[in-house]
Amino acid sequence: MRIEIVLLILGMTAVTYLPRALPGVLVGKLKFGPRVKKFLRLIPYTAMAALIFPGVLNVDPANTWIVLIGAAVAALLGVLRLPVMASVLGAIGVNFLLYMLI
């Protein structure tokens, strides 16, 4: 292999690895205020909503009400501060039961 290719690969590795590794190393040494801590705690719920909700309405156009009930259950479980996985599994469970009843 040519040395230029090896150097290019090493450079790309450093450029992609450092931005991912540095926050993990430095976050333990930083002191955050209460507002920043609250913001960081809400990121998983915000990410779940941003990634999942746009596709919710396109899942089953014939039975949109079932999907909306599942989304409402997920939102309610999120408001109750259950873990993200519990919200997702709860919505899946409700949708499954409603589809079995149809």
Give the pLDDT confidence score for residue 1 in this predicted structure.
65
Residue 70 tokens read as 């599942």
Across the chain, which distance is largest between two alpha carbons, in Å? 64
- Which sequence spans correspond to the domains of the chain? 1-30, 34-101
Q: How far is the CA of 9 from the CAs of 1, 13, 20, 22, 33, in angstroms? A: 12, 6, 17, 20, 39
Percentage of the residues of the chain whose pLDDT score is greater than 90:
38
Distance CA 21, CA 80 (A): 32
Is residue 7's pLDDT more than 90? yes
Give the pLDDT confidence score for residue 71 in this predicted structure.
87
Residue 73 tokens read as 């259950």
Residue-wise pLDDT tens digits, 29-57: 788 889 988 998 888 878 877 887 787 77
Give the pLDDT confidence score for residue 67 in this predicted structure.
85
